[in-house]
């Protein structure tokens, strides 16, 4: 990963309380896993930003190296990697995701 891509990823992750790297965007997810993440965040009613990895090959590859996680979508909360679709679903079902995002948005 180039230093420029590293900086772009740092900026996106640090400047957005909830950042989702996904296929498509929040208005038009391009895969089922990305759609799952969007639906959960929409149900929680929290503000979040997305980056479309299909529109940017450097980000698509770079985010996998950045997080050391091979799959997309990837969700960051308060600058920290939370996980992908399965982890978000699990946290949501346990009732832990709402608390995590509330704490992040309050900070």
Alpha-carbon distance 38 to 27, whole Å? 9
Domain ranges for the chain, please list them.
3-101
Compute the average pLDDT of residues 38-53: 96
Mean pLDDT of 12-36: 96
Please tell me the CATH code under which domain 3-101 is placed.
Answer: 3.40.30.10
Q: Which residue has the tokens 């679903």?
A: 89
Q: At 37, is the pLDDT very low, low, confident or very high (cuts 50, 70, 90)? A: very high
CB 40 within 8 Å of CB 97:
yes
- Is the pLDDT assigned to residue 31 strictly greater than 90? yes
Distances (CA, A) of 8 to 54, 59, 76, 77, 89: 16, 8, 14, 17, 27
Q: Provide the pairing of β-strand 18-22 with 49-52.
A: parallel
User: Which pLDDT score is estimated for 21?
Assistant: 97
Query: Is pLDDT at 1 greater than 90 in this prediction?
Result: no
Give per-residue pLDDT as tens, 50-98. Answer: 999 999 999 999 999 999 999 999 999 999 999 999 999 999 999 999 9
Average confidence (pLDDT) over 24-50: 95
Residue 41 has pLDDT above 90, yes or no: yes
């Amino acid at each position: 990963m180039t230093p420029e891509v590293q900086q772009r990823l740092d900026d996106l992750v640090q400047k957005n309380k909830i950042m989702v790297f996904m296929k498509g965007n929040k208005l038009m997810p391009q895969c089922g896993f990305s759609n799952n993440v969007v639906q959960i965040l929409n149900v929680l009613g929290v503000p979040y930003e997305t980056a479309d990895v299909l529109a940017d090959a450097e980000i698509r590859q770079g985010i996998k190296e950045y997080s050391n996680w091979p799959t997309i979508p990837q969700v960051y909360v308060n600058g920290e990697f939370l996980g992908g679709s399965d982890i978000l679903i699990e946290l949501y079902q346990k009732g832990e995701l709402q608390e995590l995002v509330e704490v992040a948005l309050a900070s």
